[in-house]
Structure 1
């Protein structure tokens, strides 16, 4: 088991495969192991660094809010700790938001970014999902005990008794309003926006994000001369939901097609 003492947190990570480094970031209430079914595809030609984010998996929580920009700073510190030379960063859901924030806050540290199933403003989330998120707190532990998330936490966490605390923190984080429109508009790292066609936000939201990145403004041209100036891309994956995207072979296939392009 490997830990990095960075940015005030003891961050758990695993390294799989060889090749150009790729940091892979999991969703909320999950851990790096949630990618096990599709990990072999990512490790074909890549050294994959799987990270358990603050309070998740084998990384114990610390005394600070569960805020995506702070977690992004953890990843930037891990890049320095491991001496990685401009790795790619791929994240899903919570991890997708973190990947985006690494690109926004630490553009000089990474090569390319893939942000999957992560809206950039709270108001884009369907109202019924916001209502469900409002019920996430320590009182929901009893309802969670039959879920894979609870089972994995009890098996992996350094302090299994912290699960109610994690629910409280995630609930508080999801209740906070956010809008990263202006930050995304200024993105300097080539970024692919990925979503399921039946995600937590409508496909139109992710098209709007792509538009902020100069996407969808004109025909791409025979030689791609009309594509977004920053090298950005958009993928809406068919037949998937927010809860199945991270297991679909379409996810690594699409992400790697973008990451393996020559700069």
Structure 2
């Protein structure tokens, strides 16, 4: 059952399922929390799963002004404070992963474990196909892909889509790179995951994992940027293994991320 809460000036729609340690699922850009349906079903058997929808996404109304990753991370921190969630496992997909990374850097106290799925943290981490999406033609394709889901549920009405999409496009075009050296400050365990045919360069995910003090790296075979939908069983098992309090002992470590 969905509900709303006002936090940080945003009337945020969210859904909650399960019980136990909180896990927050952060959806990608242009879509809503429904994209996590397969993960919510699996994770809620072990955790309290919270799925918020960001400003101007899904059932959460838009807010006047531009959108930035810094602002979205602040929104999330305010949402957690409002729900009295002192710390959570944070799992972000695509733009949601970037929000999770910004949150972890700005409010590390809120993040127990972090998962970044298909999330490039620098512009150089994009594949050529992803760069093509930022051209006028590519943005037009994205708009047509995102429009039906937005118009079906948006409280601001279908006519508001051009306004929110323009904000997203501006954020995507101007988003500053994260300095990967800053990732050394993140002491929580981090899982970096992507598909082997994702919108993120494989080399970039390796660079991110190497920059983190406590990282795991997963490349899901036979998947694209939609890996949580394409192979939900495998993705869910990787998430559950990572979130577990005890990790499987490594029998023959070879220092691959130290190279």
With the length of structure 2 as denominator, give the TM-score of the two structures: 0.87
SS at match of 1:2: strand
In structure 1, list runs of 5 or more residues that go unmatched.
214-229
Between the aligned partners of 1:99 and 1:143, the Cα distance in structure 2 is 24
Contact 1:97 1:115 in 2 (8 A): yes
Contact 2:187 2:214 in 1 (8 A): no
**Is it true that 1:156 corresponds to 2:153 in the alignment?**
yes
Partner of 1:198: 197
In structure 2, list runs of 5 or more residues that go unmatched.
248-259
**Is it true that 1:255 corresponds to 2:239 in the alignment?**
yes
Aligned residue pairs: how many? 243
Q: 1:77 to 1:143 in 2, by over 3 A?
A: closer
SS at match of 1:240: coil
Contact 1:103 1:188 in 2 (8 A): no
Partner of 1:223: none
SS at match of 2:15: strand
Contact 2:55 2:61 in 1 (8 A): yes
Judging by fraction of residues, say which structure has more helix.
Answer: 2
Between the aligned partners of 1:163 and 1:45, the Cα distance in structure 2 is 36
Q: 1:177 to 1:10 in 2, by over 3 A?
A: closer
Partner of 2:226: 243
With the length of structure 1 as denominator, give the TM-score of the two structures: 0.85
What pairs with 1:19-168 in structure 2 (closer than 5 Å)? 19-135=20-136, 140=140, 144=144, 147=145, 149-160=146-157, 161-168=159-166
Larger mean CA deviation between 8-17 and 247-256 belongs to 247-256
Contact 2:24 2:50 in 1 (8 A): yes
Contact 2:5 2:11 in 1 (8 A): yes
SS at match of 2:192: strand
Which runs of structure 1 show a deviation greater than 4 angstroms over 4 or more consecutive aligned residues?
none
Q: 1:184 to 1:152 in 2, by over 3 A?
A: same
Give the root-mean-square deviation of aligned CA atoms.
2.1
SS at match of 2:161: helix
SS at match of 1:184: helix
Q: 1:142 Cα shift?
A: 10
Between the aligned partners of 2:175 and 2:81, the Cα distance in structure 1 is 31
Q: 1:74 Cα shift?
A: 1.1
